[in-house]
Amino acid sequence: MSEAMALDGEIEALLILATDPVADSELAATLEVSVEEVAMSLKRLSAFYEETARGFELRHVGDGWRYYTRPEHADTIARSVLQGQHGRLTQASLETLAVITYLQPISRARISAVRGVNVDGVVRTLISRGLVSEVDREESTGAGLLGTTSYFLERMGLTSLDDLPPLAPHLPDARGVDEELRRLADQDIVVAREVPQEDS
C-alpha cells in the first residue's frame, strides 16, 4: 500500500469518527504530516467519492471537513428517518430562524416586529439547540443582538453566510423589511403593538 493510500485511509477513519467538522490543521497534527499532504488527501478522497457515486460526500463546512449524505438521496433519507421524529423545529421556529439568518445581527424586538408575534419562546428554543446565539449588543438600548452560530452553518452545509441563497427570490414580499427596520431604528422609534399569543 502506498503512503498516499495509507494517509487517505487514516483521514477517512478520523472523519468517520468525528462528530464535528475537523480542520486540515487538526488532521495534520494528529497524523504528524503537513497541511499540504492533508489537503491533497482530502482532494483525492473527494474525487474518489464523486467518481464512484458513493451515497456520501466529503464537504468543507464551517472550520473543517465532514462527511454528508448526497443531496440526491434526501428523499430516501427522509422516508427513513423523518417519520416519527419529534425533535424537528416547528414552523414558527423555522420562520424565526430565517428572519435571524437574513437580518442578523437583530434584536428580539425587531424579530417580533417582522413576524408580528412574540418570539421569546421560539428564540429560547433556537438558542438551546445551538443554532442562534447573542453576538452583540445594541448601543442605544443595550438589547442583545442575535445571530446564527457555526453549528447552524454546519447543519446547513455552508462554509459561510455568503453561501446563503438571495432572500428576494424566495420571499419577494420581504424585500423592504430590513430597510424599514433600519429606518425605524435610525429614528429611535420604539414599536409598541398588540401581539397574538406567543408562538410555540
- For 136-194, the pLDDT digits (tens) are 888 877 788 999 999 888 888 888 888 888 765 544 444 455 555 555 555 444 443 43
The three three-digit cell numbers of residue 186, written as one number: 435610525
Ranges of H-type helices in 52-105: 74-81, 91-103
pLDDT in tens, 11-62: 999 998 887 889 999 999 999 999 999 999 999 999 999 999 999 999 998 8
More confident residue, 106 or 155: 106
Q: Is residue 196 predicted with pLDDT exceeding 50?
A: no
The three three-digit cell numbers of residue 94, written as one number: 423555522
Chain Cα centroid distance, residue 60: 13
* Phi, psi angle pair for 187, to nearest 5°: -85, 0
SS3 56: strand
The three three-digit cell numbers of residue 67, written as one number: 462527511
- Report the candidate in 16, 58, 10 with the shortest Cα–Cα distance to residue 157: 58
Q: Quick one: pLDDT at residue 40?
A: 95
More confident residue, 117 or 171: 117
Single pTM value for the model: 0.48
